[in-house]
Amino acid sequence: MKKDIHVAHSPDSDDAFMFYALATRKIDTGDLNYVHVLSDIETLNRKALEGEYEVSAVSFHAYAYMADKYALLSCGASMGRNYGPIVVSGKPIRPDSLASKSVAIPGTLTTAFLTLRLFEPEIQYHVVQFDKILDQVREGKYDAGLLIHEGQLTYRELGLHKVLDLGEWWLGSTGLPLPLGGNVIKRDLGPALMKQVAEDIRRSIQYGLDHREEAMAYAIQFSRGLDLQRADRFVGMYVNDLTLDYGEEGREAVRRLLQEAYKNKIIPQRIALEFV
């Protein structure tokens, strides 16, 4: 009898690419059966707070509130080196004027929002579903919008202006890549099973990187309107060497992000990080 492991992640091309080999059973996972659950990141964050799934993609911001239940897997992170979530506006505005603007954000537990608050603590925000932000900024409902996912590559076509790239700002401030999201695993599965799952996910990511064309053909169906070339670019941005393993730089980036969040009173306590 196989044991079901629920893996929750976003319906995005980068996550689809990462989990391609698991979802299509390209790799042998022995006595484990992986059940994929697709949801937007803010929903995943909220469900993980309740300990809903064995494995989930979450924002590093949200991880600060669930570290007691979940450990971080040492693979599957999305990090932007000198790029990341982008603030865009309908009319050109300066980054230092953001405090006086209304900004649509994709969720209060996203790392994008955490980083925006590190940049501008007084931000006036409104939560809008991530894939509706571009349109609502274009229609003038909000002065600016915080983009995660594919909108980072397409906003110019809609006549919008870049105000700030948070990944660029973070690298300039810290010299580190910006850690956005990672995969977490429930601690109560026990060390042996946690390790087995971690290895399966690492093998799935490696398979995608080794069979890029095949994995991209699968991932393109989750790319919300991007052509193959841009979907490939988007996947390349968020599935890279740091995704296979954080390495020292990646671990330091996560530590620094949560340290700054605590120092700036955005999260309530210091988080001790443990990677499986």
Q: What is the pLDDT of residues 51-80, one digit of tens each?
A: 999 999 999 999 999 999 999 999 999 999
CB 210 within 8 A of CB 244: no
End of a domain among 136, 159, 174? 174
**149 belongs to the catalytic site:** yes
End of a domain among 132, 154, 174? 174
Q: What is the pLDDT of residues 196-205, one digit of tens each?
A: 999 999 999 9
The DSSP annotation for 145-207 comes to EEE-TTHHHHGGGGT-EEEEEHHHHHHHHHSS-EEEEEEEEEGGG-HHHHHHHHHHHHHHHHH
pLDDT, position 148? 87
End of a domain among 174, 189, 218? 174
Q: What is the pLDDT of residues 171-194, one digit of tens each?
A: 999 999 999 999 999 999 999 999
Global pTM value: 0.92
Same domain, 194 and 73: yes
pLDDT, position 228? 85
- Residue partners of 9: CB distance under 8 A and separation at least 6: 15, 18, 19, 36, 37, 38, 39, 44, 56, 57, 183
Distance CA 205, CA 209 (A): 6
Query: Is residue 30 a part of any domain in this protein?
Result: yes
Query: Is residue 275 a part of any domain in this protein?
Result: no
> Residue 174 corresponds to which tokens in the numbers above?
């810290």
Same domain, 74 and 46: yes
* Average model confidence (pLDDT) across the chain: 93
Is residue 242 within a helix (H) or strand (E), and if so which, with residue range? helix 241-244
Same domain, 143 and 195: no
- Provide the Cα torsion 102, 105, 108, 110; round to 10°: -150
Q: What is the pLDDT of residues 13-31, one digit of tens each?
A: 889 999 999 999 999 999 9
The catalytic position among 6, 36, 149, 211 is: 149
- Asked if residue 109 has pLDDT above 80, the reply is yes
Query: Is residue 108 a part of any domain in this protein?
Result: yes
What is the percentage of the chain residues whose pLDDT exceeds 70?
100
Query: Is residue 59 a part of any domain in this protein?
Result: yes
Same domain, 71 and 203: yes
Query: Is residue 268 a part of any domain in this protein?
Result: no
Query: Is residue 47 a part of any domain in this protein?
Result: yes
Q: How many CA atoms lie within 13 A of 156 on its CB side?
A: 2
| Parent domain of 251 | 3-79+178-263
Total domains in the chain come to 2
Same domain, 182 and 75: yes
The one-letter amino acid at 114: L
